[in-house]
Structure 1
Amino acid sequence: MSVLEVRNLTKRFGKFTALNGVNIEVNEGEVYGFIGPNGAGKSTTIRVLLGILKATEGGAKIFGKDAWSDAVEIHKRIAYVPGDVNLWPNLTGGEVIDLFVKLRGGNNKSRREELINKFNLDPTKKCRTYSKGNRQKVALVAAFSSDADLYILDEPTSGLDPLMEQVFQECVMDAKSEGKSVLLSSHILSEVEKLCDRVGIIRQGEIIETGTLNELRHLTRTNLLVETKQPITSLNELKGVHDIEEKDQGLSFQVDTEELDAVIKHVSKFGIVKLESAPPTLEDLFMRHYESKDEVSGGVS
């Protein structure tokens, strides 16, 4: 069942088109990764979803309601964490968390305490004394303490150390196991790779690819490190082989996934002593996708 549906969303600011025909669908119990470089249109899309901006064309529905006209109703069931949290300087972190949780009608004290401990947050300090990372923690504790059905997270781990990133990832997986839905906008590709069921890549205001990670891996290359009894010849003449480098322990190169079988057959003729294969990461997918697009358009935007 679809929780969030964006159809043909277009947003213009004067002559500038920030979003051009964006389509996104997030289902119940699904973590959807929304990735792209800075300025690609991620935050603009999220502002439309939150009812802060009105779509020029198309629109967005959350829980079957219109994101613009039914924003008040929708906000009762969503939790939002921005990438740069601003808090009331004279309130303590604990007071801010309580305020946000009460606004959503929740009152789960044990969940609040559990999350404060997990995120190693001192809730008695005034918000003006908090570092960026601690401000993020306040927003994350408030979000995951509330009983939301949809979490909209826009670069939520910005400023967190790796240990706290892990705690965040556990919170997302807990929410998913309870059947909640998550829209995660992030540039930390390893985070998206660990958490997300499906991914949408946005570039210059357009969704250029969407699907599960397995579906998107056809765009990537497998990394191979091969040591053989005899030197490998004619490798650079094979289709789908890239970035050949000589290493102490053999040859390192990348192979387009669809050509892997033919390349391994060729290499095996030289007597394989050692073969290391690393699966393509989302980072490979991301960089290759943008590189190929830039080559077509003739430059980097």
Structure 2
Amino acid sequence: MTKIVKLQGLQKKFGKFQALSDVTFTVEAGEVVGFIGPNGAGKSTTIRALLGIIKRDAGQAEIFGKDVWKESLEIHKRISYVPGDVALWGSLTGGEIIDLFMKLHGGGDKQKRDYLIKRFELDPKKKAKGYSKGNRQKVGLIAALSVESDLYIFDEPTSGLDPLMEAVFQEEVEKIKEAGKSILLSSHILSEVERLADRVVIIRQGEIVESGTLDELRHLTRSAVTLSTEGDVSQMEFVEGIHDFTQKDNEATFSADNKYINAILTEATKLGVKKFEAVPPTLEDLFMRHYEG
């Protein structure tokens, strides 16, 4: 596959503070990569380095095979970017700002713009100084989605939006994904990332601590299992791969290492299985694994 974004050993210091120490990941053509981590982990710093807004101290950073610092003007012609807090010109209307952003990008689809204005329920005739944070985000999103780009970079794009508008955003992202575009999505809404992302990259204290598809990451952690049997279910407590075993009547709940699920089920069948439910970990479980404590 074609690598649209390539980061290798990216480093950035602010004074004595090491903001990024070893950031390495890629975004392939037609792929949505969810980039997650709490505030201060290095997400926005990584994105600003990718956009050529700040200069990296070390490592490799490329978009479309071009250096993000040296060839940023060429790169920006083919990308759309929405930050987590869109700053606007207060004396212009939302519609005027959207048109200006589209013009700066080199055109755009006016029919799509009008469609998106309706979908996001934005009043385009209102001056930006009267907009709430959510409406400022809508202006940025509409402008970014109204132009044709090969890479979309969203940094907390739904910040300030209500759940209904978050759903509209997710539906529109699915459309550009279906069109074969690449997307880097940084978001604190894990359900949003879980719904949209092909691959997840987790950053902690300036380093990538985990990356892969959700299925790949789920192999690294445990599923929640509920089991009831005809025989004495307490016999399952010491089976290899079972943790946090609790029992009520003849029903047990426990967490299970995924690589042992088959062996656990084999042991359970010896007792006569009445109920066996295994729920894989959510993205939130995977995320918290790296941040609890």
Q: Same fold (TM over 0.5)?
A: yes
Change (3 A) 1:128 1:200: same
State the Cα distance separating 1:257 from its structure 2 match. 0.6
Instruction: State the distance in 2 between where 1:252 and 1:161 align.
Output: 36
Q: CA deviation at 1:252?
A: 2.4
Contact 2:229 2:250 in 1 (8 A): no
Aligned counterparts of 2:278 and 2:241: Cα–Cα separation in 1: 16
Match of 1:141 in 2: 142
Q: How does 1:33-72 map to 2 (within 5 A)?
A: 33-72=34-73
CA distance in 2 between partners of 1:228 and 1:216 (Å): 30
Q: Which residue of 2 aligns with 1:31?
A: 32
Deviations 1:259-300 (A, max 9, x none): 111222223333322222222211122222444xxxxxxxx4
Q: Which amino acid aligns with 1:209?
A: E
Partner of 1:267: 268
Q: Distance in 1 between matches of 2:17 and 2:217?
A: 30
What's the TM-score, normalizing by structure 2? 0.93
User: Aligned partners of 2:96, 2:190: CA distance in 1, in Å?
Assistant: 33
2:246, 2:289 → 1: CA distance?
18
CA distance in 2, matches of 1:160, 1:239: 46
CA distances 1:43-77 after superposition (whole Å, capped 9, x unpaired)? 10001011111000113111122111222221111
Task: Tell me which amino acid in the other structure corresponds to 2:113.
Answer: R
**What is the DSSP-based 3-state SS (H/G/I as helix, E as strand, rest coil) of the residue aligned with 1:233?**
helix
Q: 1:123 to 1:209 in 2, by over 3 A?
A: same
Listed as ranges, the matches of 1:234-273 within 5 Å are: 234-246=235-247, 250-273=251-274
Report sequence identity in percent: 60
Q: TM-score, normalised by structure 1?
A: 0.91
8 Å Cα contact 1:32/1:183 also seen in 2: yes
**1:159 alignment partner AA:** G
| 1:10 and 2:25 correspond | no
Q: Pick closer, same or farther for the CA change 1:247–1:184 going to 2, 3 Å.
A: farther
Say whether the 8 Å CA contact 1:11–1:57 is kept in structure 2.
yes
Q: Partner residue of 1:199? A: 200
Instruction: Give secondary structure in 1 for the equivalent of 2:161.
Output: coil
In the alignment, is the contact (CA less than 8 A) between 1:82 and 1:153 conserved in 2?
yes
Partners of 2:165 and 2:245 lie apart in 1 by 38
Report the equivalent of 2:213: 212
Once the two structures are TM-superposed, the CA of residue 247 in structure 1 deviates from its matched residue by 5.8
- The residue aligned with 1:185 is 186
In structure 2, what is the Cα distance between the partners aligned to 1:32 and 1:120? Answer: 28
Tell me if structure 2 keeps the 8 A contact 1:199–1:211: yes
- Asked if 2 retains the 8 angstrom alpha-carbon contact of 1:59 and 1:67, the reply is no
Contact 2:108 2:148 survives alignment (8 Å):
no
Q: Evaluate the alpha carbon distance shift between residue 153 and residue 247 of structure 1 in structure 2; reply closer, same or farther with a 3 A threshold.
A: farther
Long gaps (5+) in structure 2: none
- The letter for the 2-side match of 1:180 is K
The structural deviation recorded for 1:248 is 8.2
Q: What secondary structure sits across from 2:61 in the alignment?
A: strand
Letter in 2 for 1:70: E
**Considering only aligned residues, what root-mean-square deviation do their CA atoms show, in Å?**
1.8
1:83-232 → structure 2 map (5 Å cutoff) = 83-232=84-233
Deviates more, 1:209-218 or 1:91-100: 209-218
Secondary structure of 1:219's counterpart equals coil
Q: What is the deviation of 1:158?
A: 1.5
Contact in 2 for aligned 1:221/1:284 (Cα 8 Å) = no
